[in-house]
Structure 1
């Protein structure tokens, strides 16, 4: 009996321990459930909502770029593209692609790339097959939709440049984001998003992008979109207004024709760039749609450099267009007067070296205005020798040669204005007297861009430190931003000396015998003044001179002289300054001067048609002109 009682007590104790253990476990479970469902409820609710609601970034429309009159230069257009969703192709995306390939052109390489993309993504995620479809292609796809399961037309936006090649180097282009591009903006992660790669598109890229919007969509556990819950549109990109005159820009680009050339036109009073053309050009729309390998190779292997903006990055010996700089330096130093004559016999000796004038036999006695008019080399050799390279250097730098002009456009190069110190530091050799002479006619080490030559002309005409610019204003949703422009500082050059240079340039174009007389503007109210330049790209040997110097048309294209011309108009009341460089064009008077004439005439006629009055010269200017 005792033994049964002991067993009963043992069982009761074990049952009590087991029950206590269960109670402890049940208490822990209840406590944990309370913690998760009550204490942690807000956190898990948030996590659940985040898993259910997906926030997606919406690309904003890129801002427009327009000219000074509001004419569109870069805009957005609808981009029709065809996409394929694998789960809707009845398990046969390859078949849909093959059928689609009978409607629009799809290469085998493209098909393999698309199928690879389909395999990489989830079956409900659409994959782009082709972008930038024409309306005819869209219609053909829509008609054949029953035979194209899983395919549909999607509409987005693409960048478009209405002027095509005419403004390509100024505007630049947009292209897809690459790994090299900084990922400082979530917009850059969006598929197909494009950013500015060159020109104004690159300069103002951040403002042109705008800010992205958001779309809240409900998704299931696999990420498939069920419905859009909320949408908040972003801010469109800013509108950038340039100083360009689209009509003048188009005329300038067409006037350059087939030549490898560059042209710049400035407003002397404001520094505004009215036109800037570089030839040959390229179609910026091609970069947006995506260049083929063949198209890219054609661009980068073209010896005439279609991708280079020659107006700001082409560096050329200025030739005789530099002679005004030398003359002005001599006048400021007082080593010569405008009426003093120097005799040109066709050559000049310095030590054992002989330096030739372009005119065999010489020009005879020349004063300063006549020397400009006939572009006599011996005259400028002589005055260059008198003043020395450093004074020429200092005057050239004041007029904008050998340094960046400050233009608001990426890619500008500095050119080169040599000096004694420069040669010693760069080449490690002392400066030679003969180098001063050839610098005096714009040859040797001196290099300038067409933009620098236009700025030089504007400064010679105005007597002020003209700084060019392209951006007129930037319009955003917050208001209009106008870049601050300081008033141009005086150069500190004697205005009487500047008038002498003006008269010399006038003689070049408007007095019979001037090197550009045949290229003059005959309408009196539009009269142009300027200076020709012909820059050698090869050395003429003594043996060739003894026999006969070959003419440009007898030489290969790459050995012909560069042709240059700088000018301003109208002469009595200057408003426009222009420079043109024609690579291997031969003669400045024949190849470059007529182009500048036509451009300056067009600029003035456009101004006259708009009824814009020219700035009237002050009484002091009239007095200085009479004295000069």
Structure 2
């Protein structure tokens, strides 16, 4: 044997030793990769509860059929065979092929879900003829209370390419077929907490990709459970009471800032989106003139009308340019720079002080007060009461509203502020905008004198979240007390603008303020011939009806704000809704009819019967869904 041959043999021996001994673990791993598949196990999504532990968002088991392209071979042939075993619509097959083309060959794609156990059994029996096809059981979101909490809780849906494009490093579990993530509301804003972490399992597969056995399984971590401050019973009442209107209502705890109800009407069934909304359903929702998809309570902004008047007066009194006792004469209009700004009462109110101006809602009093103090001080006071500020809540597109000042108009409109702008703003018109949520916050701060901040998350996985704010607003308590007394007389004085909305529940009464905001300009010619009544106008040209109140008057517990789009008069349309919602909150259910004034009990009974019947019908639907 030559030296060269000996060298070659030695080299081969050394290499065989390397492969068989030193690198044996590595090649064993490579061999196992050929027969062992790693799969992610979707975590259970965290649940959402109301303050009393009632489930608002739950998970339900569903059966689904998936296909893996690299194991299927001829996808068209496999799908055609599957369609002979279970019902598959042409659109199901087309969607599956489209998704297969976008995904990696090893990623499972959902063909159909929410199928019956009988269909699953047929697929399993025919498994040898369906390579790449698997029947699985998973969890899907369900909303037991349907439309009652749709705008707040939101809904989930399958991960889309757009969702993935918004993420720099998408979580691998988002590749799981038909994996659901939050799209709107709390579901979206607390997605990271509720999603959980995926588990893993190792399975042994044969040459055809069929599962032979499970080798190892490591469960993931379930998502966090969320407890909201909402009271589902009060929330259901609010939605039922708003039925038939394009409206919104917010109920806030004056002591803690907890949001007890956030209603927007009309609403929609979020379960439609989870299961894949049809074209007909989507078109019906999207083209509805009353905008059921809009969360009006916190996304909508409106001129606050006369509900803003207390802000104007407080700004003037705090600045020292007006005292509570001083009277201002109202003759039915105020002339400013050659323009007449009218009071709602053409004949005027005569001499009125702060108390009477709010009780009678005299516009001219506030025209004068605003000219004295100026818009910048009014804007500062408005923000102190929560207007013109975006409040940090786990909701979709929370509106900031607008508390305008001189700088805002220069920067945004490119114009100088005018005195007429100030006069308009004094009664909550012009550029001033507020959401129902902000009006409820404003009312809670008026009632308490404290910087009450709204809170909607009570606990996350049992850990109670801290309260925010609550310190004094730092305002003259005498001025605040006079504002509250005026709001009390708005409701409880015979000449108050909302006297018909009064109630008495075991000595508990409320204080409130009406508001009507114009959406059209009333010309001099129309005033001369008589202002057209709201009911004689097309719906979209009617005034918005607004209302704020708190109760009980002597120890405030609840603040309520109501906006009825194009509803007309605040006292006649929005006020009764706010009254009924407040009574429901105080009584913990339908109050006795004796709590209403005798003259309104008949109408109150009609409303109670209608709302009770609607709530019972929805409750039956909820139970059937569960």
> Do they fold alike, i.e. is TM over 0.5?
yes
SS in 2 for 1:578: strand
Partner of residue 494, structure 1: 476
Match of 2:472, SS state, is: coil
> Is structure 2 residue 52 aligned with structure 1 residue 69?
yes
Distance 1:60 1:514, change over 3 A: same
2: distance between equivalents of 1:224 and 1:120? 23
Are the counterparts in 2 of residues 64 and 238 from structure 1 also a CA contact under 8 Å? yes
**Could you tell me whether the CA contact under 8 Å between 1:408 and 1:469 is conserved in 2?**
no
CA gap 1:145/1:155 in 2 versus in 1, 3 angstroms: closer
Structure 1, residues 602-622: CA drift from partner, whole Å, max 9, x if none? 11111999xxxxxxxxxxxxx
Shift of 1:184: 3.1
The answer to whether structure 1 residue 306 and structure 2 residue 292 are counterparts is yes
1:431 aligns to 2:414 (yes or no): no
Deviates more, 1:173-182 or 1:454-463: 173-182
Q: Aligned with 1:132: secondary structure?
A: strand
Return the match for 2:542 from 542, 545, 560.
Answer: 560
SS in 1 for 2:452: coil
Task: Give me the whole-angstrom Cα distance separating, in 1, the residues matched to 2:107 and 2:575.
Answer: 60
- The correspondence of residues 359-438 of structure 1 with structure 2, limited to 5 A, is 359-438=345-424
8 Å Cα contact 2:229/2:258 also seen in 1: yes
Q: Is the 8 A contact 1:138 1:153 kept in 2?
A: no
Deviations 1:293-340 (A, max 9, x none): 333333333333222221111111000000011121222223333333
Alpha-carbon distance between aligned partners in 2 of 1:322 and 1:121, rounded to the nearest angstrom: 55
Moved more, 280-289 or 216-225: 216-225
1:258 maps to 2:244: yes
- Structure ID, larger Rg: 1
Relative to structure 2, which stretch is displaced further, 91-100 or 374-383? 91-100
Distance in 2 between residues matched to 1:523 and 1:600, nearest whole Å? 11
Aligned to 1:618: none
Deviation at 1:541, TM superposition (A): 0.9
Unaligned runs of 5+ in 1: 1-15, 610-628
Deviation at 1:221, TM superposition (A): 5.0
Name the residue aligned to 1:11: none
Taking the aligned partners of 1:27 and 1:375, their CA distance within structure 2 comes to: 106
Counterpart position of 1:571 = 553
Deviations for 1:26-47, whole angstroms, at most 9, x for unmatched residues?
Answer: 3333332222222322322232
Rounded to whole Å, the distance in 2 between the matches of 1:443 and 1:464 is: 26
Pick aligned residue for 1:32 from 3, 7, 15: 15
Contact 1:87/1:123, CA 8 A, preserved across alignment: no
Distance apart, 1:389 and its partner CA? 1.3
Deviations 1:208-241 (A, max 9, x none): 1111111111234554422101111111111111
Alignment of 1:463-478 (within 5 A): 463-475=449-461
**1:457 and 2:440 equivalent?**
no
1:48 maps to what in 2?
A: 31
Across the two proteins, how many residue pairs are aligned to each other?
A: 581
Question: 2:431 — aligned with what?
Answer: 445
Q: What stretches of structure 2 of length at least 5 have no aligned partner?
A: 592-626
Give the match's secondary structure for 2:422. Answer: helix
Superposed CA RMSD in Å reads 2.9
Answer with 491-500 or 110-119: which moved more.
110-119
Q: Quote how far apart the aligned CAs of 1:455 are.
A: 0.6
Shift of 1:122: 12
Q: Does the aligned pair in 2 maintain the 1:528–1:568 contact within 8 Å?
A: yes
SS in 2 for 1:27: helix
- More deviation, 207-216/173-182: 173-182
Contact kept, 8 Å, 1:409 with 1:470, in 2: the verdict is no
Indicate how the Cα distance of structure 1 residues 224 and 22 shifts in structure 2: closer, same or farther if over 3 A, else same: farther
Closer, same or farther in 2 for the Cα pair 1:92/1:265, shift >3 Å?
closer
- Range moving further from structure 2, 401-410 or 186-195: 401-410
Deviation at 1:436, TM superposition (A): 1.2
Structure 2 Cα separation of the partners of residues 287 and 362 of structure 1: 54
CA separation of 1:78/1:507 partners in 2, compared to 1, >3 Å: closer, same or farther?
same
Residue aligning to 1:623:
none
Q: Contact 1:87 / 1:124 at 8 angstroms: preserved in 2? A: no
Tell me the CA shift for residue 83 of structure 1. Answer: 5.7
**Post-superposition CA distance 1:157-195 (Å, at most 9, x none):** 100111101111111111111223324312112111111
Partners of 2:49 and 2:56 within 8 A in 1: yes
Q: 2:311 is matched with which residue?
A: 325
SS at match of 1:397: helix
- Scaled by the length of structure 1, what TM-score is found? 0.86
| CA offsets 1:112-163 (integer angstroms, 9 cap, x no match) | 4446778999999986443224xxx545775899799758864211001111
Q: Hey, what's the Cα distance between the residues in 2 that align with 1:125 and 1:425?
A: 52
Q: Residue by residue, what CA displacement relative to the aligned partner does 1:355-407 show, whole Å, maximum 9, x if unpaired?
A: 11111212222222221121111111121122221221121111111111333
Alignment correspondent of 2:608: none
Bigger shift: 411-420 or 179-188? 179-188
Q: Taking structure 1 as reference, are residues 90 and 558 closer, same or farther at Cα in structure 2, changes over 3 Å only?
A: closer
Match of 1:209 among 181, 189, 195: 195
Q: Deviations over 1:232-260 (max 9, x none)?
A: 11111111111111111111111111211
> Once structures 1 and 2 are overlaid, which stretch shifts more, 461-470 or 124-133?
124-133
Residue aligned with 2:251, SS: strand
Q: Judge conservation of contact 2:124–2:135 (CA < 8 Å) in 1.
A: no
